[in-house]
Protein backbone atom coordinates (compact mmCIF):
# COMPACT_ATOMS: atom_id res chain seq x y z
CA UNK A 1 0.00 0.00 0.00
CA UNK A 2 1.47 3.34 -0.91
CA UNK A 3 1.73 6.32 1.36
CA UNK A 4 -1.42 8.04 0.24
CA UNK A 5 -3.50 4.94 0.21
CA UNK A 6 -2.33 4.25 3.73
CA UNK A 7 -3.26 7.76 4.79
CA UNK A 8 -6.61 7.52 3.13
CA UNK A 9 -7.29 4.21 4.77
CA UNK A 10 -6.76 5.57 8.28
CA UNK A 11 -9.81 7.69 8.65
CA UNK A 12 -12.03 9.55 6.30
CA UNK A 13 -11.81 12.68 8.39
CA UNK A 14 -8.07 12.58 8.68
CA UNK A 15 -7.72 12.07 4.95
CA UNK A 16 -10.04 14.92 4.17
CA UNK A 17 -8.22 17.27 6.44
CA UNK A 18 -4.89 16.26 5.05
CA UNK A 19 -6.10 16.60 1.53
CA UNK A 20 -7.76 19.93 1.90
CA UNK A 21 -4.97 21.69 0.07
CA UNK A 22 -4.81 19.03 -2.63
CA UNK A 23 -6.54 18.90 -5.97
CA UNK A 24 -10.26 18.43 -5.78
CA UNK A 25 -12.32 17.06 -8.63
CA UNK A 26 -16.07 16.90 -8.84
CA UNK A 27 -17.59 13.43 -9.16
CA UNK A 28 -17.85 12.40 -12.84
CA UNK A 29 -15.65 15.29 -13.92
CA UNK A 30 -12.19 14.68 -15.33
CA UNK A 31 -9.00 14.40 -13.35
CA UNK A 32 -6.07 14.89 -15.71
CA UNK A 33 -2.40 14.29 -15.08
CA UNK A 34 0.12 15.82 -17.39
CA UNK A 35 3.66 14.47 -17.24
CA UNK A 36 6.81 15.20 -19.13
CA UNK A 37 8.45 12.25 -20.80
CA UNK A 38 10.56 11.22 -23.73
CA UNK A 39 9.86 12.88 -27.04
CA UNK A 40 12.35 11.04 -29.17
CA UNK A 41 11.42 7.99 -31.25
CA UNK A 42 7.70 7.38 -31.75
CA UNK A 43 6.01 7.72 -28.37
CA UNK A 44 2.68 6.61 -29.88
CA UNK A 45 4.18 3.23 -30.63
CA UNK A 46 6.92 2.94 -28.07
CA UNK A 47 5.34 3.97 -24.82
CA UNK A 48 2.42 2.38 -23.08
CA UNK A 49 1.36 3.55 -19.68
CA UNK A 50 -1.61 3.40 -17.41
CA UNK A 51 -2.47 4.40 -13.89
CA UNK A 52 -4.18 2.51 -11.14
CA UNK A 53 -6.74 4.69 -9.38
CA UNK A 54 -8.11 3.53 -6.06
CA UNK A 55 -10.74 4.69 -3.63
CA UNK A 56 -11.88 2.24 -0.96
CA UNK A 57 -12.91 -0.93 -2.85
CA UNK A 58 -12.90 0.71 -6.28
CA UNK A 59 -10.03 0.32 -8.69
CA UNK A 60 -9.72 1.56 -12.25
CA UNK A 61 -6.81 1.43 -14.60
CA UNK A 62 -7.18 3.81 -17.54
CA UNK A 63 -4.49 3.95 -20.16
CA UNK A 64 -2.68 7.21 -20.75
CA UNK A 65 -1.86 8.82 -24.08
CA UNK A 66 0.85 10.85 -25.67
CA UNK A 67 -0.31 14.38 -26.33
CA UNK A 68 2.71 15.51 -28.36
CA UNK A 69 5.60 17.78 -27.45
CA UNK A 70 6.97 15.40 -24.84
CA UNK A 71 3.76 15.53 -22.77
CA UNK A 72 2.04 12.39 -21.51
CA UNK A 73 -1.46 12.56 -20.12
CA UNK A 74 -3.74 10.35 -18.23
CA UNK A 75 -7.40 11.09 -17.63
CA UNK A 76 -9.71 9.68 -15.06
CA UNK A 77 -13.38 10.08 -14.26
CA UNK A 78 -13.88 9.48 -10.53
CA UNK A 79 -17.28 7.95 -9.82
CA UNK A 80 -17.10 7.99 -6.05
CA UNK A 81 -16.54 10.80 -3.59
CA UNK A 82 -13.56 10.72 -1.29
CA UNK A 83 -9.87 10.29 -1.66
CA UNK A 84 -8.51 8.69 -4.82
CA UNK A 85 -4.89 7.61 -5.02
CA UNK A 86 -3.13 6.78 -8.21
CA UNK A 87 0.08 5.19 -9.31
CA UNK A 88 1.42 5.11 -12.82
CA UNK A 89 2.63 1.89 -14.42
CA UNK A 90 4.94 2.00 -17.40
CA UNK A 91 8.02 0.39 -18.76
CA UNK A 92 9.20 3.95 -19.33
CA UNK A 93 11.18 4.87 -16.24
CA UNK A 94 10.32 8.56 -16.55
CA UNK A 95 6.64 7.79 -16.12
CA UNK A 96 6.70 4.68 -14.01
CA UNK A 97 5.71 4.70 -10.37
CA UNK A 98 4.62 8.32 -10.26
CA UNK A 99 1.94 8.53 -7.68
CA UNK A 100 -0.40 10.93 -6.03
CA UNK A 101 -3.96 11.49 -4.95
CA UNK A 102 -6.85 13.85 -5.16
CA UNK A 103 -10.12 14.45 -3.46
CA UNK A 104 -13.39 13.78 -5.24
CA UNK A 105 -16.18 16.08 -4.12
CA UNK A 106 -19.90 15.85 -4.87
CA UNK A 107 -21.06 16.39 -8.42
CA UNK A 108 -22.35 19.82 -9.28
CA UNK A 109 -26.11 20.09 -9.83
CA UNK A 110 -27.00 18.93 -13.32
CA UNK A 111 -24.15 16.43 -13.48
CA UNK A 112 -25.76 13.01 -13.13
CA UNK A 113 -22.86 10.91 -14.37
CA UNK A 114 -22.66 8.69 -17.42
CA UNK A 115 -25.73 7.08 -18.92
CA UNK A 116 -26.34 3.40 -18.18
CA UNK A 117 -28.86 0.81 -19.24
CA UNK A 118 -31.60 0.77 -16.69
CA UNK A 119 -34.70 -1.37 -16.31
CA UNK A 120 -33.47 -3.61 -19.17
CA UNK A 121 -35.00 -1.60 -22.03
CA UNK A 122 -34.27 1.92 -20.85
CA UNK A 123 -31.55 4.27 -19.70
CA UNK A 124 -30.67 6.33 -16.67
CA UNK A 125 -27.74 8.42 -15.57
CA UNK A 126 -25.53 6.77 -13.01
CA UNK A 127 -27.14 8.73 -10.16
CA UNK A 128 -30.48 7.15 -11.07
CA UNK A 129 -32.00 10.11 -12.91
CA UNK A 130 -33.93 8.76 -15.91
CA UNK A 131 -32.45 9.45 -19.30
CA UNK A 132 -34.86 9.22 -22.22
CA UNK A 133 -32.81 9.48 -25.40
CA UNK A 134 -34.05 11.90 -28.01
CA UNK A 135 -31.28 11.69 -30.53
CA UNK A 136 -30.25 13.68 -33.52
CA UNK A 137 -27.61 13.30 -36.19
CA UNK A 138 -24.71 15.66 -36.89
CA UNK A 139 -22.27 13.50 -38.80
CA UNK A 140 -19.66 16.07 -39.75
CA UNK A 141 -20.20 18.95 -37.39
CA UNK A 142 -16.74 18.68 -35.76
CA UNK A 143 -15.11 19.35 -39.12
CA UNK A 144 -16.80 22.69 -39.76
CA UNK A 145 -15.75 26.27 -39.07
CA UNK A 146 -15.79 27.60 -35.55
CA UNK A 147 -18.75 29.83 -36.42
CA UNK A 148 -20.79 26.96 -37.77
CA UNK A 149 -19.98 24.82 -34.76
CA UNK A 150 -21.07 27.62 -32.43
CA UNK A 151 -24.30 27.92 -34.38
CA UNK A 152 -24.85 24.17 -34.11
CA UNK A 153 -24.41 24.32 -30.36
CA UNK A 154 -26.78 27.25 -30.10
CA UNK A 155 -29.38 25.34 -32.13
CA UNK A 156 -28.93 22.23 -30.02
CA UNK A 157 -29.36 24.25 -26.87
CA UNK A 158 -32.89 25.19 -27.92
CA UNK A 159 -33.76 21.77 -29.30
CA UNK A 160 -35.19 18.69 -27.59
CA UNK A 161 -32.17 16.62 -28.48
CA UNK A 162 -30.08 15.12 -25.71
CA UNK A 163 -27.95 12.73 -27.76
CA UNK A 164 -26.22 13.32 -31.07
CA UNK A 165 -24.39 10.95 -33.35
CA UNK A 166 -21.29 12.18 -35.11
CA UNK A 167 -18.24 10.86 -36.90
CA UNK A 168 -14.88 11.23 -35.28
CA UNK A 169 -13.11 10.51 -38.57
CA UNK A 170 -14.29 12.79 -41.38
CA UNK A 171 -15.87 11.23 -44.45
CA UNK A 172 -13.92 11.68 -47.62
CA UNK A 173 -15.40 14.50 -49.64
CA UNK A 174 -13.71 16.41 -52.41
CA UNK A 175 -14.09 19.74 -50.65
CA UNK A 176 -12.57 18.42 -47.41
CA UNK A 177 -9.56 17.31 -49.42
CA UNK A 178 -9.05 20.28 -51.70
CA UNK A 179 -11.90 22.78 -51.51
CA UNK A 180 -12.45 25.97 -49.60
CA UNK A 181 -13.43 23.83 -46.62
CA UNK A 182 -10.22 21.85 -46.79
CA UNK A 183 -9.55 20.16 -43.48
CA UNK A 184 -6.61 21.43 -41.48
CA UNK A 185 -5.97 18.32 -39.52
CA UNK A 186 -6.56 14.60 -39.62
CA UNK A 187 -6.47 11.86 -37.00
CA UNK A 188 -2.91 11.13 -38.02
CA UNK A 189 -0.15 13.41 -39.30
CA UNK A 190 -0.36 14.13 -43.02
CA UNK A 191 -3.07 15.36 -45.35
CA UNK A 192 -3.41 12.68 -48.03
CA UNK A 193 -3.27 8.96 -48.36
CA UNK A 194 0.34 9.23 -49.48
CA UNK A 195 1.42 11.36 -46.54
CA UNK A 196 -0.68 9.91 -43.71
CA UNK A 197 1.52 8.39 -41.02
CA UNK A 198 -0.56 5.60 -39.51
CA UNK A 199 2.06 4.96 -36.84
CA UNK A 200 1.23 8.25 -35.13
CA UNK A 201 -1.74 10.30 -34.07
CA UNK A 202 -2.35 13.99 -34.38
CA UNK A 203 -3.03 15.37 -30.89
CA UNK A 204 -4.33 18.69 -32.20
CA UNK A 205 -7.02 16.84 -34.15
CA UNK A 206 -8.15 15.01 -31.04
CA UNK A 207 -8.13 18.19 -28.96
CA UNK A 208 -10.67 19.66 -31.36
CA UNK A 209 -12.89 16.62 -30.93
CA UNK A 210 -12.54 16.97 -27.17
CA UNK A 211 -13.80 20.49 -27.43
CA UNK A 212 -16.85 19.14 -29.27
CA UNK A 213 -17.48 16.47 -26.67
CA UNK A 214 -17.11 18.88 -23.78
CA UNK A 215 -19.45 21.39 -25.42
CA UNK A 216 -22.05 18.67 -25.69
CA UNK A 217 -21.45 17.71 -22.09
CA UNK A 218 -22.03 21.25 -20.96
CA UNK A 219 -25.31 21.31 -22.88
CA UNK A 220 -26.41 17.99 -21.41
CA UNK A 221 -26.06 16.19 -24.74
CA UNK A 222 -24.67 12.69 -24.97
CA UNK A 223 -21.99 12.35 -27.63
CA UNK A 224 -22.67 9.14 -29.56
CA UNK A 225 -19.22 8.88 -31.10
CA UNK A 226 -18.96 6.97 -34.36
CA UNK A 227 -15.58 5.29 -34.23
CA UNK A 228 -15.36 3.85 -37.75
CA UNK A 229 -17.07 4.94 -40.92
CA UNK A 230 -17.08 3.56 -44.47
CA UNK A 231 -17.28 6.86 -46.34
CA UNK A 232 -13.85 6.86 -47.88
CA UNK A 233 -14.31 6.20 -51.57
CA UNK A 234 -10.83 4.70 -51.68
CA UNK A 235 -9.31 8.11 -51.06
CA UNK A 236 -7.92 8.38 -47.54
CA UNK A 237 -7.94 4.76 -46.45
CA UNK A 238 -9.31 5.33 -42.94
CA UNK A 239 -11.81 2.56 -43.67
CA UNK A 240 -9.04 -0.01 -44.13
CA UNK A 241 -6.29 0.75 -41.68
CA UNK A 242 -5.69 -2.87 -40.74
CA UNK A 243 -6.19 -4.64 -37.43
CA UNK A 244 -3.12 -3.29 -35.62
CA UNK A 245 -3.82 0.34 -36.48
CA UNK A 246 -7.50 -0.09 -35.68
CA UNK A 247 -6.61 -1.35 -32.22
CA UNK A 248 -4.06 1.38 -31.60
CA UNK A 249 -6.57 3.96 -32.80
CA UNK A 250 -9.29 2.66 -30.50
CA UNK A 251 -6.99 2.61 -27.49
CA UNK A 252 -5.88 6.16 -28.23
CA UNK A 253 -9.49 7.30 -28.53
CA UNK A 254 -10.43 5.49 -25.34
CA UNK A 255 -7.49 6.93 -23.42
CA UNK A 256 -8.45 10.45 -24.51
CA UNK A 257 -12.24 10.35 -24.46
CA UNK A 258 -13.44 7.71 -22.01
CA UNK A 259 -13.14 10.07 -19.03
CA UNK A 260 -15.84 12.30 -20.56
CA UNK A 261 -18.99 11.19 -18.85
CA UNK A 262 -21.20 11.94 -21.85
CA UNK A 263 -19.61 9.62 -24.42
CA UNK A 264 -21.29 6.62 -26.02
CA UNK A 265 -19.35 4.36 -28.34
CA UNK A 266 -20.87 3.64 -31.70
CA UNK A 267 -18.47 1.20 -33.30
CA UNK A 268 -19.52 2.29 -36.74
CA UNK A 269 -22.03 3.94 -38.93
CA UNK A 270 -23.34 1.50 -41.55
CA UNK A 271 -20.78 -1.04 -40.47
CA UNK A 272 -21.25 -3.54 -43.28
CA UNK A 273 -20.20 -0.90 -45.81
CA UNK A 274 -16.72 -1.20 -44.29
CA UNK A 275 -16.20 -4.05 -46.63
CA UNK A 276 -13.01 -5.50 -45.29
CA UNK A 277 -14.26 -5.85 -41.73
CA UNK A 278 -16.11 -9.06 -40.93
CA UNK A 279 -18.45 -9.58 -38.01
CA UNK A 280 -15.59 -11.35 -36.25
CA UNK A 281 -13.51 -8.20 -36.71
CA UNK A 282 -16.30 -6.17 -35.16
CA UNK A 283 -16.46 -8.62 -32.26
CA UNK A 284 -12.79 -7.97 -31.64
CA UNK A 285 -13.17 -4.19 -31.92
CA UNK A 286 -16.07 -4.29 -29.47
CA UNK A 287 -13.95 -6.31 -27.07
CA UNK A 288 -11.16 -3.74 -27.27
CA UNK A 289 -13.60 -0.96 -26.43
CA UNK A 290 -15.03 -2.99 -23.59
CA UNK A 291 -11.60 -3.86 -22.22
CA UNK A 292 -9.96 -0.44 -22.42
CA UNK A 293 -12.87 1.73 -21.35
CA UNK A 294 -12.67 1.60 -17.55
CA UNK A 295 -16.16 3.03 -17.14
CA UNK A 296 -18.24 0.81 -19.35
CA UNK A 297 -19.80 3.54 -21.46
CA UNK A 298 -22.64 2.40 -23.70
CA UNK A 299 -21.56 0.41 -26.75
CA UNK A 300 -23.40 -0.36 -29.96
CA UNK A 301 -23.00 -0.39 -33.72
CA UNK A 302 -25.15 1.03 -36.49
CA UNK A 303 -25.89 -1.27 -39.41
CA UNK A 304 -26.19 -1.03 -43.13
CA UNK A 305 -27.53 -4.12 -44.86
CA UNK A 306 -25.78 -6.78 -42.80
CA UNK A 307 -27.21 -6.49 -39.32
CA UNK A 308 -24.72 -7.18 -36.55
CA UNK A 309 -25.94 -9.55 -33.85
CA UNK A 310 -26.95 -7.13 -31.13
CA UNK A 311 -27.58 -9.97 -28.72
CA UNK A 312 -23.83 -10.39 -28.25
CA UNK A 313 -22.83 -9.67 -24.67
CA UNK A 314 -20.62 -6.65 -25.36
CA UNK A 315 -23.47 -4.74 -27.03
CA UNK A 316 -25.32 -2.66 -24.46
CA UNK A 317 -28.19 -1.53 -26.66
CA UNK A 318 -29.49 -1.87 -30.19
CA UNK A 319 -28.61 0.97 -32.57
CA UNK A 320 -30.71 0.05 -35.53
CA UNK A 321 -31.16 1.40 -39.03
CA UNK A 322 -34.29 -0.39 -40.22
CA UNK A 323 -36.92 2.02 -41.38
CA UNK A 324 -39.65 -0.59 -41.64
CA UNK A 325 -39.42 -1.10 -37.90
CA UNK A 326 -40.90 2.35 -37.35
CA UNK A 327 -42.99 2.69 -40.51
CA UNK A 328 -45.70 0.60 -38.93
CA UNK A 329 -46.74 0.33 -35.32
CA UNK A 330 -46.06 -2.61 -33.06
CA UNK A 331 -42.60 -3.66 -34.18
CA UNK A 332 -40.42 -2.10 -31.49
CA UNK A 333 -41.92 -4.37 -28.82
CA UNK A 334 -40.90 -7.35 -30.94
CA UNK A 335 -37.36 -6.02 -31.19
CA UNK A 336 -37.28 -5.61 -27.41
CA UNK A 337 -38.46 -9.18 -27.05
CA UNK A 338 -35.86 -10.41 -29.54
CA UNK A 339 -32.86 -8.55 -28.18
CA UNK A 340 -33.87 -8.02 -24.54
CA UNK A 341 -31.98 -4.73 -24.58
CA UNK A 342 -32.88 -1.07 -25.15
CA UNK A 343 -33.86 -0.42 -28.75
CA UNK A 344 -32.68 2.84 -30.27
CA UNK A 345 -33.81 3.42 -33.84
CA UNK A 346 -30.74 5.43 -34.66
CA UNK A 347 -31.63 6.09 -38.26
CA UNK A 348 -35.23 6.31 -39.43
CA UNK A 349 -34.68 8.46 -42.55
CA UNK A 350 -34.36 12.22 -42.30
CA UNK A 351 -36.87 14.98 -42.61
CA UNK A 352 -35.74 17.02 -45.57
CA UNK A 353 -35.68 17.84 -49.22
CA UNK A 354 -32.53 16.27 -50.62
CA UNK A 355 -32.43 14.05 -53.66
CA UNK A 356 -31.57 10.94 -51.66
CA UNK A 357 -34.55 8.83 -50.72
CA UNK A 358 -33.24 8.48 -47.18
CA UNK A 359 -33.33 12.23 -46.72
CA UNK A 360 -36.69 13.52 -47.81
CA UNK A 361 -39.46 12.38 -45.53
CA UNK A 362 -42.02 14.87 -44.30
CA UNK A 363 -42.18 16.29 -40.81
CA UNK A 364 -45.41 14.38 -40.27
CA UNK A 365 -43.72 11.13 -41.20
CA UNK A 366 -40.72 11.82 -38.95
CA UNK A 367 -43.01 12.54 -36.03
CA UNK A 368 -45.07 9.43 -36.78
CA UNK A 369 -41.89 7.34 -36.73
CA UNK A 370 -40.85 8.87 -33.43
CA UNK A 371 -44.19 8.04 -31.87
CA UNK A 372 -44.01 4.58 -33.40
CA UNK A 373 -40.71 4.03 -31.59
CA UNK A 374 -41.64 5.47 -28.20
CA UNK A 375 -45.11 3.88 -28.10
CA UNK A 376 -43.23 0.61 -28.60
CA UNK A 377 -41.02 1.19 -25.57
CA UNK A 378 -38.08 2.14 -27.78
CA UNK A 379 -36.21 5.31 -28.72
CA UNK A 380 -35.38 7.12 -31.94
CA UNK A 381 -32.91 9.48 -33.51
CA UNK A 382 -33.84 12.40 -35.68
CA UNK A 383 -32.16 13.90 -38.70
CA UNK A 384 -32.84 17.04 -40.70
CA UNK A 385 -31.54 17.22 -44.25
CA UNK A 386 -32.18 20.43 -46.16
CA UNK A 387 -30.16 22.15 -48.82
CA UNK A 388 -27.43 20.72 -50.99
CA UNK A 389 -27.79 16.96 -51.26
CA UNK A 390 -24.12 16.32 -50.66
CA UNK A 391 -23.84 18.57 -47.62
CA UNK A 392 -27.28 19.22 -46.21
CA UNK A 393 -27.52 21.35 -43.17
CA UNK A 394 -27.86 19.68 -39.87
CA UNK A 395 -27.24 15.99 -40.58
CA UNK A 396 -23.98 16.74 -42.34
CA UNK A 397 -22.66 20.07 -41.22
CA UNK A 398 -24.92 21.20 -38.40
CA UNK A 399 -26.06 24.82 -38.32
CA UNK A 400 -29.79 25.39 -38.23
CA UNK A 401 -32.71 23.02 -38.04
CA UNK A 402 -35.24 23.58 -40.78
CA UNK A 403 -37.72 20.76 -40.37
CA UNK A 404 -41.07 20.80 -38.68
CA UNK A 405 -40.45 17.75 -36.56
CA UNK A 406 -38.18 19.08 -33.79
CA UNK A 407 -40.93 21.09 -32.12
CA UNK A 408 -43.18 18.01 -32.16
CA UNK A 409 -40.37 15.84 -30.87
CA UNK A 410 -39.95 18.32 -28.01
CA UNK A 411 -43.67 17.93 -27.35
CA UNK A 412 -43.34 14.14 -27.28
CA UNK A 413 -40.31 14.43 -25.04
CA UNK A 414 -42.30 16.35 -22.47
CA UNK A 415 -44.97 13.66 -22.50
CA UNK A 416 -42.37 10.94 -22.02
CA UNK A 417 -40.70 12.86 -19.21
CA UNK A 418 -44.05 13.33 -17.53
CA UNK A 419 -44.72 9.59 -17.82
CA UNK A 420 -43.44 6.73 -15.70
CA UNK A 421 -39.84 7.46 -14.66
CA UNK A 422 -38.88 3.87 -15.48
CA UNK A 423 -39.84 4.39 -19.14
CA UNK A 424 -42.74 3.15 -21.23
CA UNK A 425 -43.54 -0.54 -21.30
CA UNK A 426 -45.50 -1.93 -24.24
CA UNK A 427 -48.83 -3.22 -23.00
CA UNK A 428 -50.34 -6.42 -24.40
CA UNK A 429 -47.93 -6.18 -27.31
CA UNK A 430 -48.89 -9.46 -28.99
CA UNK A 431 -52.30 -8.03 -29.76
CA UNK A 432 -52.07 -4.25 -29.34
CA UNK A 433 -49.69 -2.25 -31.47
CA UNK A 434 -50.20 1.19 -29.98
CA UNK A 435 -50.36 1.07 -26.19
CA UNK A 436 -47.54 1.61 -23.77
CA UNK A 437 -47.23 2.85 -20.24
CA UNK A 438 -47.22 1.31 -16.83
CA UNK A 439 -49.67 -1.42 -15.93
CA UNK A 440 -52.48 -0.22 -13.76
CA UNK A 441 -51.61 3.45 -13.73
CA UNK A 442 -50.49 5.05 -16.99
CA UNK A 443 -51.54 4.33 -20.56
CA UNK A 444 -50.47 6.16 -23.68
CA UNK A 445 -52.42 5.16 -26.78
CA UNK A 446 -51.38 6.40 -30.19
CA UNK A 447 -53.70 6.24 -33.18
CA UNK A 448 -51.11 7.04 -35.82
CA UNK A 449 -52.55 7.83 -39.22
CA UNK A 450 -56.03 6.60 -38.35
CA UNK A 451 -58.48 9.54 -38.36
CA UNK A 452 -60.80 8.08 -35.75
CA UNK A 453 -64.06 9.75 -34.80
CA UNK A 454 -64.34 8.06 -31.45
CA UNK A 455 -62.72 5.56 -29.20
CA UNK A 456 -64.55 3.35 -26.80
CA UNK A 457 -62.73 3.32 -23.53
CA UNK A 458 -61.02 -0.03 -23.13
CA UNK A 459 -57.80 -1.22 -21.58
CA UNK A 460 -56.05 -4.62 -21.59
CA UNK A 461 -56.88 -6.45 -18.38
CA UNK A 462 -53.44 -7.05 -16.92
CA UNK A 463 -52.84 -5.08 -13.76
CA UNK A 464 -56.41 -3.76 -13.58
CA UNK A 465 -59.42 -4.46 -11.40
CA UNK A 466 -63.04 -3.35 -11.30
CA UNK A 467 -63.65 0.06 -9.80
CA UNK A 468 -60.32 1.68 -10.65
CA UNK A 469 -60.83 5.21 -11.92
CA UNK A 470 -59.03 6.97 -14.72
CA UNK A 471 -58.90 10.32 -16.43
CA UNK A 472 -57.81 10.99 -19.97
CA UNK A 473 -56.11 13.69 -22.00
CA UNK A 474 -56.59 14.00 -25.72
CA UNK A 475 -53.25 14.68 -27.36
CA UNK A 476 -52.86 16.18 -30.78
CA UNK A 477 -49.31 15.12 -31.50
CA UNK A 478 -48.89 17.31 -34.56
CA UNK A 479 -50.56 20.49 -33.36
CA UNK A 480 -49.05 19.97 -29.93
CA UNK A 481 -52.18 20.36 -27.89
CA UNK A 482 -53.19 18.48 -24.79
CA UNK A 483 -56.86 18.64 -23.89
CA UNK A 484 -57.84 17.20 -20.53
CA UNK A 485 -61.19 15.42 -20.74
CA UNK A 486 -63.73 15.82 -17.99
CA UNK A 487 -65.09 12.30 -17.91
CA UNK A 488 -64.01 9.99 -15.14
CA UNK A 489 -63.79 6.39 -16.32
CA UNK A 490 -64.50 3.62 -13.86
CA UNK A 491 -63.44 0.13 -14.79
CA UNK A 492 -65.65 -2.85 -15.32
CA UNK A 493 -64.53 -6.17 -16.74
CA UNK A 494 -65.79 -6.85 -20.26
CA UNK A 495 -64.19 -10.23 -20.91
CA UNK A 496 -61.05 -12.17 -20.18
CA UNK A 497 -58.95 -9.64 -22.06
CA UNK A 498 -60.48 -6.25 -21.53
CA UNK A 499 -61.75 -3.68 -19.08
CA UNK A 500 -64.12 -0.96 -20.17
CA UNK A 501 -65.79 1.99 -18.50
CA UNK A 502 -68.85 0.95 -16.56
CA UNK A 503 -70.88 3.62 -18.39
CA UNK A 504 -69.54 2.39 -21.74
CA UNK A 505 -68.12 5.84 -22.34
CA UNK A 506 -66.65 6.73 -25.63
CA UNK A 507 -64.12 9.43 -26.22
CA UNK A 508 -64.85 11.72 -29.15
CA UNK A 509 -61.84 12.11 -31.40
CA UNK A 510 -61.40 14.80 -34.05
CA UNK A 511 -61.28 12.41 -37.04
CA UNK A 512 -57.78 13.61 -37.80
CA UNK A 513 -54.52 11.69 -37.93
CA UNK A 514 -51.81 11.69 -35.28
CA UNK A 515 -54.00 11.74 -32.21
CA UNK A 516 -53.16 10.07 -28.93
CA UNK A 517 -54.71 9.55 -25.54
CA UNK A 518 -53.03 9.64 -22.19
CA UNK A 519 -54.99 7.78 -19.56
CA UNK A 520 -53.94 8.10 -15.96
CA UNK A 521 -55.28 6.61 -12.81
CA UNK A 522 -56.91 8.91 -10.30
CA UNK A 523 -56.38 8.39 -6.54
Binding site for a copy of itself (CB under 8 A): 305-307, 309, 311, 321-325, 327-331, 333-334, 337-338, 357, 429-431, 433, 497
146 or 357: whose CB is closer to a copy of itself? 357
Q: Do residues 176 and 167 make contact, with C-beta atoms less than 8 angstroms apart?
A: no
Scored b (16 or more CB within 10 A) or e, 162-171 reads: bbbbbbbbbb
Secondary structure class of 83 (helix, strand, coil): strand
Minimal distance, residue 362 CB to a copy of itself, in Å: 16
Closer to a copy of itself at the Cβ: 54 or 336? 336
Interatomic CA distance for residues 126 and 365, integer angstroms: 34
Kindly state the smallest distance separating residue 448's Cβ from a copy of itself, in Å.
11
Q: How far is the CB of 388 from a copy of itself (least distance, A)?
A: 16
Report in angstroms how near the CB of residue 306 gets to a copy of itself at its nearest.
Answer: 8
Give the count of beta carbons closer than 10 Å to the beta carbon of residue 309.
11
Taking the complex as a whole, how short is the minimal distance between the CB of residue 315 and a copy of itself, in angstroms? 12
- Can you say whether residue 229 is alpha, beta or left, with left for phi > 0 and alpha for psi between -120 and 50 degrees? beta
Task: Give residue 53's Cα distance to chain centre.
Answer: 26
- What is the Cα 433 distance to its own chain's centre? 26
For a copy of itself, which is the closer residue by CB, 152 or 303?
A: 303
DSSP string, 96-160: TT-EEEEEEEPPPTT---SEEEETTTEEEETTS-EE--EEEE-TTGGGS-HHHHHHHHHHHHTSS
**Is the CB of 67 or the CB of 432 nearer to a copy of itself?**
432
Integer CA distances (angstroms), 80 to 5, 60, 104, 161, 301, in order = 15, 12, 7, 28, 30
User: Among residues 115 and 436, whose Cβ is nearest to a copy of itself?
Assistant: 436
Q: Give the nearer residue to a copy of itself in terms of CB position, either 78 or 376.
A: 376
State in angstroms the smallest separation of the CB of 455 from a copy of itself. Answer: 19
Distance in Å, CB of 334 to a copy of itself, minimum: 5
DSSP letter, residue 511: S
If the CB atoms of residues 117 and 497 are measured against a copy of itself, the closer one turns out to be: 497
Could you tell me which of 495, 490, 498 has the C-alpha nearest to residue 460? Answer: 498
Q: How far is the CB of 322 from a copy of itself (least distance, A)?
A: 5
Nearest alpha carbon to residue 47 among 259, 285, 248: 248
Q: Decide whether 78 or 448 has the Cβ nearer to a copy of itself.
A: 448
Amino acid sequence: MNRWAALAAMTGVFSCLTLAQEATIRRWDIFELSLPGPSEGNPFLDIRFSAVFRNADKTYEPEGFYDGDGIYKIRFMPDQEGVWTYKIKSRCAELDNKEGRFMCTPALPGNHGPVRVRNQYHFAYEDGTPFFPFGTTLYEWPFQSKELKEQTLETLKHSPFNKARFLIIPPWKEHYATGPTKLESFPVPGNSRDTFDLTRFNPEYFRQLEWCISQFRDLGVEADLILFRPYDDGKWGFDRMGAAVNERYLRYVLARFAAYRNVWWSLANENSFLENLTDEDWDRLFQIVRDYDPYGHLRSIHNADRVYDYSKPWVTHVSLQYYMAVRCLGISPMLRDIYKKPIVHDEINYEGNIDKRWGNISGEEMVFRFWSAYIGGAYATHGDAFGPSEDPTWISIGGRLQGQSPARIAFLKKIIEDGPPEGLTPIDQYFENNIAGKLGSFYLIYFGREPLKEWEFRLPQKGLKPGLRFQADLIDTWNMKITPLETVFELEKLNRYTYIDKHRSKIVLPAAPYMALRIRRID
